[in-house]
């Protein structure tokens, strides 16, 4: 274990004015607080906070951060209180430690809720002080370095959290060195065989190409020296997890990777970066499509560099990363390199990191969500690759990969997103659900009377947009259904002869899985909660038999509707059980889309057409594009199936077969073997060799349909299978 004087000496190397007395007091205080506690390895527990503090000295952080690192587990794992820390070390250090303390003593419904609330508390503390993030990442790094002492089941969970949350968070803050080590350690425990295989291949490649790599480095130095560019050429080896992720993402073999080895060219000034690119491109052929300028357009985590790939000596592809020394420091240390708190200087003197500023904005935008939604949205917002788009005035908007124009609108401003009715992408009218690409210029058209459709919730990919849509939807639902729901509830209590009050309902919210009284009224008004269930939540002894309403005529798709309480239920003639859909009015005609239909397990929306009723579409239906500029017609509709019962639902597939005897029999037999039912078969000859067959099928759900398609594709007589979706 590190000695007291060793830690002090580490700090004094970069900060001769360090408060030695403060550091010594913290060392002794933490050691006494943890006393005889042991880690899973058998080492004294105090060795862990001491190593966390040592890791942070590598970032040259201030005395308060180092002290908080030594004390970071005292409130959580010892009798020490926040008040005691404030008294002994001051409010600043006490606040840092408190921000890192979990909420173990609170009562949560599930383990996932505990994790979500802990993560929420951590990010809110980070938004107040970036040093909380630095200590937490150092804490996670040391835990990962000693993970082999932890029992296997817990080991896998910790490694998964590291890969999903902490490594991406380090990357988002620009701390690439820390991110790489966290990813590699998590990869080693989650996929040990894949990790070992890639390590072996890297060793094999190193022994084979070692001389060539040295030759390339020497030639690079020589070429830059001839042009008078002072630089430092450093080799870079791609990390095992990055290699595996690229192989998985692009479905390529190890041998097909061209950027396992690369070189970083470090220069003094920005002008030298572009001059170095000129030298590289005039000396060796460049690889088309492999040039990226992150200096003129930095990444959101403040990363700046020029990336290019050339065909160098020995016809070897060589990736070059060209940057200044200052850029390199930010690339490796990220937010810590901005010296927000180093050497006693404050953010007022050095300026706030753009990555940290963006993180605070995201946290503020999501902070009104409950804990589990907060965790979900933050993962979506922080941990995805990005695309960069522009407003017509040239403002840069960074979004996760796969973001739509709706996400763009909410990134500009919440009011812009809520009022959006259309958009132009690169000057052309486009649907709001269009997925954006790098460099797109987006213009959002809005309407003051607009309310965002609830269906957007399943389309957007950013947590900010999703949170704003849900808030707006809640407000609209409250205005539309809240009053109606309250009337229904109050009448239900009158019929039951029971007393109703808001105070009684508030105590029953957990049993109704709602967070607020208004949510209950909205649910009742929308038909999502049965009024008798509200009575029963307050008075568990209450009993009421539900009765089905009168049958109504079948709609255009041949399904019969039953009005039951606040639900509209569709039933195929002669089939049971029924198919309930939430979010519809009982007196409105409803039909499924004429092509393809919709099956349970896939997201659906309703389109209200004046005079015709409501048509149900799967969310991926191409027909929805025709309604993109008519948001007032969109309705949020959801499946509500009885899992204990299985029913069949209509859909259509198009099968292209070889035009040979027995093809139809083989296809029909396969469909029958999967348990699907054939309703109609339509033939369409496409030539002497092939024919198309349209099957109107009945399946139980989307998994069943996918299984049918997968089985058909394996048949030798089948050329192609696709689902018909209007």
Write the CB contacts of 339 (distance below 8 Å, at least 6 apart in sequence).
Answer: 345, 350
Q: Which one of 20, 76, 329, 441 is the catalytic residue?
A: 76
- The domains located in the chain, with CATH, are 4-192 (1.10.3210.10), 471-538 (no CATH), 560-639 (no CATH), 649-723 (3.30.70.260)
Q: Give the separation between CA 603 and CA 679, rounded to whole angstroms.
A: 24
pLDDT of residue 551: 36
Q: Give the separation between CA 130 and CA 357, rounded to whole angstroms.
A: 10
CB burial string 415-434: b at 16+ within 10 A, e below:
ebbbbbbbbebeeeebbbbb
Here the tokens at position 467 are 């949170």
- Cα separations (Å) of 280 from 317, 318, 721? 12, 10, 49
Please count the other Cβ atoms lying within 10 Å of the Cβ belonging to residue 612.
Answer: 11
pLDDT of residue 103: 40
pLDDT of residue 212: 75
Q: Is 76 a catalytic residue?
A: yes
Q: Mark the ranges of the chain whose per-residue pLDDT is less than 50.
A: 103-112, 339-351, 366, 368, 371, 380, 383-384, 546-579
Nearest in space to 593 (alpha carbons), one of 557, 545, 563, 625 = 557
Q: Give the separation between CA 508 and CA 501, rounded to whole angstroms.
A: 11
Here the tokens at position 24 are 């010594």
Q: How many degrees, rounded to 5, is the angle at CA 127 between CA 177 and CA 513?
A: 110
Q: Give the separation between CA 397 and CA 533, rounded to whole angstroms.
A: 46
pLDDT of residue 462: 82
pLDDT tens, position by position, 253-286: 777 776 677 889 999 999 999 999 998 898 888 8
Q: Is 255 a catalytic residue?
A: no
406 in Cβ contact with 634 (< 8 Å): no
Helix and strand tally (H, E) in the chain?
A: 29, 21
SS3 375: helix
pLDDT of residue 526: 67
SS3 563: strand
Q: Give the separation between CA 13 and CA 58, rounded to whole angstroms.
A: 10
pLDDT of residue 426: 86
Q: Which one of 43, 77, 84, 696 is the catalytic residue?
A: 77
Nearest in space to 650 (alpha carbons), one of 611, 697, 608 = 697
Residue with tokens 């904005």: 361
Q: Give the separation between CA 217 and CA 313, rounded to whole angstroms.
A: 10
Radius of gyration of the chain (CA): 31
pLDDT tens, position by position, 500-516: 888 888 888 888 878 88
214 in Cβ contact with 158 (< 8 Å): no
Let me know how long the chain is: 726
Residue with tokens 């009575």: 535
Give the phi and the psi of residue 669 in degrees, each rounded to 5. -65, -40
Here the tokens at position 156 are 């896998």
Nearest in space to 264 (alpha carbons), one of 327, 206, 212, 209 = 327
- Cα separations (Å) of 635 from 166, 434, 535? 38, 20, 28
């Amino acid at each position: 274990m590190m000695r007291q004087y060793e830690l002090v000496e580490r700090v004094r190397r970069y900060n001769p004015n360090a408060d030695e007395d403060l550091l010594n007091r913290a060392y002794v205080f933490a050691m006494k607080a943890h006393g005889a506690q042991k880690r899973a390895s058998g080492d004294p527990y105090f060795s862990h906070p001491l190593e966390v503090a040592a890791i942070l000295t590598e970032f040259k952080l201030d005395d308060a951060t180092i002290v908080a690192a030594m004390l970071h587990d005292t409130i959580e794992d010892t009798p020490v209180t926040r008040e005691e820390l404030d008294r002994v070390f001051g409010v600043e250090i006490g606040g840092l430690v408190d921000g890192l303390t979990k909420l173990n003593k609170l009562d949560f419904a599930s383990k996932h809720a505990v994790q979500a609330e802990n993560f929420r508390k951590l990010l809110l503390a980070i938004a107040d002080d970036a040093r909380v993030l630095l200590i937490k990442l150092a804490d996670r790094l040391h835990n990962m370095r000693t993970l082999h002492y932890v029992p296997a089941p817990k080991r896998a969970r910790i490694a998964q959290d590291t890969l999903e949350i902490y490594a991406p968070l380090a990357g988002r803050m620009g701390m690439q060195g820390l991110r790489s080590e966290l990813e590699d350690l998590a990869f080693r425990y989650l996929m040990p065989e894949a990790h070992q295989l890639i390590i072996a291949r890297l060793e094999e490649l190193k022994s084979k190409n070692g001389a060539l790599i040295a030759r390339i480095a020497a030639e690079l130095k020589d070429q830059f020296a001839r042009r008078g560019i002072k630089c430092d050429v450093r080799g870079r080896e791609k990390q095992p997890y990055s290699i595996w992720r690229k192989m998985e993402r692009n479905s390529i073999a190890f041998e097909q990777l061209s950027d396992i080895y690369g070189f970083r060219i470090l220069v003094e000034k920005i002008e030298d970066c572009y001059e170095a690119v000129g030298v590289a491109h005039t000396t060796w052929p460049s690889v088309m499509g492999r040039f990226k300028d992150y200096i003129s357009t930095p990444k959101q985590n403040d990363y700046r560099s020029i990336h290019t790939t050339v065909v160098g000596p020995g016809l070897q592809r060589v990736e070059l990363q060209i940057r200044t020394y200052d850029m390199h420091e930010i690339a490796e240390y990220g937010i810590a390199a901005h010296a927000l708190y180093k050497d006693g200087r404050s953010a007022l003197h050095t300026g706030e990191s753009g990555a940290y500023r963006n993180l605070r904005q995201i946290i503020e935008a999501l902070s009104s969500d409950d804990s589990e939604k907060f965790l979900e949205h933050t993962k979506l917002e922080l941990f995805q690759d990005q695309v960069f788009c522009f407003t017509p005035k040239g403002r840069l908007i960074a979004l996760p990969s796969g973001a739509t124009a709706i996400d763009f609108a909410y990134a500009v401003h919440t009011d812009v997103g809520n009022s959006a009715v259309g958009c132009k992408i690169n000057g052309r009218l486009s649907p709001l659900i269009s997925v954006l690409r790098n460099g797109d210029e987006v213009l959002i058209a809005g309407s003051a009377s607009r309310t965002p459709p609830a269906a957007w919730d399943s389309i957007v990919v950013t947590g900010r947009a999703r949170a704003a849509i849900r808030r707006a939807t809640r407000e609209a639902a409250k205005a539309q259904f809240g009053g109606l729901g309250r009337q229904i509830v109050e009448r239900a209590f009158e019929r039951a002869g029971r007393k109703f009050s808001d105070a009684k309902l508030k105590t029953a919210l957990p049993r109704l899985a709602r967070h607020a009284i208004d949510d209950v009224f909205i649910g009742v008004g929308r038909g999502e909660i049965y009024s008798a269930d509200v009575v029963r939540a307050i008075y568990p002894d209450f009993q009421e038999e539900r009765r089905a309403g009168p049958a109504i005529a079948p709609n255009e798709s041949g399904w019969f509707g039953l009005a039951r309480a606040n639900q509209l239920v569709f039933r195929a003639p002669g089939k049971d059980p029924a198919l309930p859909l939430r979010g519809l009015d009982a007196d409105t005609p409803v039909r499924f889309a004429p092509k393809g239909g919709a099956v349970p397990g896939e997201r659906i929306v309703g389109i209200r057409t004046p005079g015709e009723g409501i048509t149900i579409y799967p969310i991926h239906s191409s027909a929805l594009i025709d309604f993109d500029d008519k948001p007032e017609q969109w309705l949020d509709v959801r499946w509500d199936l009885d899992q204990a019962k299985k029913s069949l639902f209509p859909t259509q597939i198009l099968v292209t077969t070889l035009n040979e005897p027995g093809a139809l029999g083989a296809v029909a037999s396969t469909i029958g073997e999967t348990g699907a039912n054939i309703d109609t078969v339509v033939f369409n000859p496409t030539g002497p060799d092939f024919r198309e067959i349209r099957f109107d099928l009945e399946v139980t759900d989307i998994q069943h349909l996918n299984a049918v398609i997968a089985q058909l594709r394996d048949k030798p007589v089948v050329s192609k299978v696709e689902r018909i979706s209007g």
